[in-house]
A and B are shown apart, each in its own frame.
Chain A
């Protein structure tokens, strides 16, 4: 199975781990991430205003690349997933945006939202299956108590993203279980870490991250996992708490026994 793969800006730089471990794990699990050519940054945030067209074009380009190859488009970063999926929804359902974007793009064939956008976790859940994943685990993470940190961008708005129940998600908990660890459910797992606000108002982000970390450790989490580089940064840098925060792909690679290969 081959997927088109959109890594996104941060996975080439600060969040290399998120990317590397995903590719290694995919190999073990029998699918390939084929990086699309000449991808451009998604912008990190979805342009909400209905008259924003140009800021959506980099996503449309990536989506169309996958369409031309006849592949589903996989991402790892929550922000990329959020932006690509919402732009794709616009291309499917918002005529004004679809027409204007295609006018800019001048593609051989207009892009109308044909590509399916998937998060890596959705591939694990819906294509590989968590039961199958469990069978491939060679170093189960037994005894580890792990809190899933979803944040905002994977879940909301649920109507468009359709990733999981936005108020009580389960996909990462099921993932944690498949790896042999114990998921810790805490109510702040879908609360915001502050996102881009940490550039100009670190204090606000710090307060929010503390709430998240306190709730998670209060319910007994030894560590958190996330899919978002910015969440990882904010939780690690802005919170007083010391609970470690890893990318979900890192513990996946560990459980699959491919983490230490290069070391």
Chain B
């Protein structure tokens, strides 16, 4: 080891305000092996990097310690810098003086003391580092998109247009997602179906796009560039190759009591159904919980009327295994259950509905054919009250902590549409704050007030009481007037919070992607890498990452596609050389490591071992470095301590601990 250089970053005042950087430099100089130490305002800047490169060249450094922010932020930056200057990039260590030190301490003495210790540990580690060389792995030129809503469709189209194959896996019988359920879209009020269905058709017709509808991702293995995914194609009981989509089966089906998912449960659908008329694919599925034939072997009417002979009651689920280079999560959202908000009488009155249910009521293809009417008695409402923030912005155990973001705008949209079509209907909106950032958004909300005379009242509603005469009383408050209000309503519409689709948890687990406390998938960096998951090769599109409206979703979908294209365009990917390795001389082939390996990267071979001239054959662990992700589980499981993670060897870790305890 000819010499270690230590570079302490001020990070502006981020580090320097609570760490005496000059003291850290002084103390570093006293450490064994250190031949150079300096501090600089922004080590990651071009000038800062040049300082490191210069020192490497001039002092012929064998190892570098950068005392800066988290390695998640700039480890790659400094490794590249070292490599350019002629040093193996794995001879660089980061001491995290920002997230793990300056940001969590207030007292400069404490901060400095800890910074010195962290620096000492990194120096101890780097003096045991060895040069590592990254390997290479191939890239499967196909992407998987999980979820076929507007996010998934747009991502798939953008990837396919660049010439790469894409599979969309959609759990319901048709692509289209929540946007297909919407009537109009804000702030332009164009018809949702009119702008979505052409995209659905484009996706279906695209030669590079393959849609697995009524299918779910079952298992994921592999890694960036080389994922292997099992897709469960649920039994449709209809042969997709034979079905012509004539719809005769749906008409004749005698079991018509199931609630239509597409109409938010406000109408019924047959046991054999497509969710909506413009479904893609236009091939129905049989709901086995409703089908008389599948339940009691009676009926069979659909098979008899099907001219194409497409009905197949014996069909079973099928597992398809496909390889992908990249995976995009686009699993979308659901409206929360309103069980915690019985004060708003959602479960007690048919005339208290969610905004998504109102979308269906206002839609020409909806349960009331687009007529605004009460679900209890079919009468036209005269007074409609909207309640905002139901289950959003909560700090209790009942609701979500976040703002659902889309509700202010869609409520303004509903209010405008109602006042436009039914000028006699009075519309009152109870709001806490009106949040309308976005192009032409606030102007849209103001139009609701100024042009359409929508009555906006500041104050959350306390309770909604059904009255004996069939009307509803909304017990509210006008905070600006400091008056309690009792508003008579024929219909109450709740802007219920949205939450990530429930299956996102299991999908995130399969992908080893992390999720936050609200089940939104965590992005690699909230500002600079918003469409990437921290897991390489996994990308995010739409509401699975956080609440967003259609324009934002489409933007993010395109951004995710660009990231996927960037990945698929490569022929080879560099692999992480920090993989596990067994000491063949000492390994006794006990299998403890293979049992804990989550990636199936460890196998065993009988090897001829030359132990100081004594040759014998014995069983030893062999790590497939292409599969190994460097998690280190095997190194702790190994009873003989002979499994080591390169770059994080047991000796290096112990040296760090020793340095900290010194």
Contact = CB atoms under 8 A, between A and B. Distances in A.
Q: Is there any pair of Cβ atoms, one from A and one from B, under 8 angstroms apart in the complex?
A: yes
A168 B468 contact: no
Interface in B327-356: 341-343, 345, 347-348
Interface in A134-170: 159, 165, 167-168
B348 A168 contact: yes
Residue in A159, A165, A185, A187 with the greatest tally of chain B CB atoms within 10 Å: A187
A198 B647 CA distance: 76
A168 B397 contact: no
B468 A219 contact: yes
A94 to B, nearest CB: 18
Contacts of A46: none
Contacts of B465: 187-188, 215
Nearest to B465: A187
B466 A168 contact: no
Nearest to B341: A167
Contacts of B343: 167
Contacts of A260: none
A187 B348 contact: yes
B467 interface: yes
A185 B467 CA distance: 11
Nearest to B346: A168
19 contacts: A159-B397, A165-B342, A167-B341, A167-B342, A167-B343, A168-B348, A185-B348, A187-B345, A187-B348, A187-B463, A187-B465, A187-B466, A188-B465, A215-B465, A215-B467, A215-B468, A218-B467, A218-B468, A219-B468
Nearest to B396: A159
A87 to B, nearest CB: 22
Contacts of A159: 397
Given A159-B397, A187-B348, A168 B342 contact: yes
B488 to A, nearest CB: 14
B467 A168 contact: no
Contacts of A218: 467-468
Q: What size tier do the contact residues of chain A reach?
A: 10 to 19
Interface string B458-474: 00000101111000000
A188 B468 CA distance: 12
Contacts of A167: 341-343
Given A167-B342, A167-B343, 17 more contacts: A165-B342, A167-B341, A168-B342, A168-B347, A168-B348, A185-B348, A187-B345, A187-B348, A187-B463, A187-B465, A187-B466, A215-B465, A215-B467, A218-B467, A218-B468, A219-B468, A220-B468
Interface in B20-69: none
Contacts of A220: 468
A262 B558 CA distance: 82
Interface in B355-381: none
A165 B398 CA distance: 13
Interface string B256-276: 000000000000000000000
Nearest to B345: A187
A20 to B, nearest CB: 35
Interface of B: 341-343, 345, 347-348, 397, 463, 465-468
B626 to A, nearest CB: 52
Nearest to A159: B397
Contacts, number: 22
Contacts of A215: 465, 467-468
Nearest to B340: A167
A187 B469 CA distance: 13
A168 B342 CA distance: 6
Contacts of B468: 215, 218-220
Contacts of B466: 187
Contacts of A165: 342
Interface string A75-114: 0000000000000000000000000000000000000000
A111 B342 CA distance: 36
Nearest to A211: B465
Contacts of B341: 167
A168 B345 CA distance: 8
B356 to A, nearest CB: 22
A215 B465 CA distance: 9
Contacts of B342: 165, 167-168
A61 B467 CA distance: 45
A120 B345 CA distance: 28
A212 B289 CA distance: 44
Contacts of B347: 168
B205 to A, nearest CB: 49
A259 to B, nearest CB: 31
A220 B465 CA distance: 16
Nearest to A214: B468
A163 to B, nearest CB: 14
B307 to A, nearest CB: 50
Nearest to B467: A218
The 8 A-B residue pairs whose C-beta atoms are closest, nearest first, are: A218-B468, A167-B342, A187-B465, A168-B342, A167-B343, A219-B468, A187-B466, A165-B342
A28 to B, nearest CB: 34
Contacts of A168: 342, 347-348
Interface string A212-236: 0001001110000000000000000
A215 B345 CA distance: 15
Interface string A178-211: 0000000101100000000000000000000000
Nearest to B468: A218
B359 to A, nearest CB: 26
Residue in B341, B345, B465 with the greatest tally of chain A CB atoms within 10 Å: B465
Nearest to B464: A187
A215 B466 CA distance: 9
A168 B343 CA distance: 7
Residue in A165, A167, A218 with the greatest tally of chain B CB atoms within 10 Å: A167
A154 to B, nearest CB: 16
B580 to A, nearest CB: 46
Contacts of A187: 345, 348, 463, 465-466
A219 B467 CA distance: 8
Contacts of B397: 159
Nearest to B466: A187
A220 B468 CA distance: 9
Nearest to A166: B342
A168 B348 CA distance: 8
A165 B341 CA distance: 10
A168 B338 CA distance: 12
A188 B347 CA distance: 16
B391 to A, nearest CB: 14
Contacts of B463: 187
A218 B470 CA distance: 11
A159 B398 CA distance: 10
Nearest to A220: B468
Nearest to B343: A167
A187 B463 CA distance: 9
A224 to B, nearest CB: 15
Contacts of A185: 348
A165 B468 CA distance: 22
A168 B463 CA distance: 12
A112 to B, nearest CB: 24
B207 to A, nearest CB: 54
A185 B465 CA distance: 11
A215 B475 CA distance: 14
B397 to A, nearest CB: 7
A119 B341 CA distance: 25
B439 to A, nearest CB: 39
Contacts of B348: 168, 185, 187
A168 B464 CA distance: 12
Nearest to A216: B468
Interface string A4-40: 0000000000000000000000000000000000000
A149 to B, nearest CB: 15
B605 to A, nearest CB: 58
A188 B463 CA distance: 10
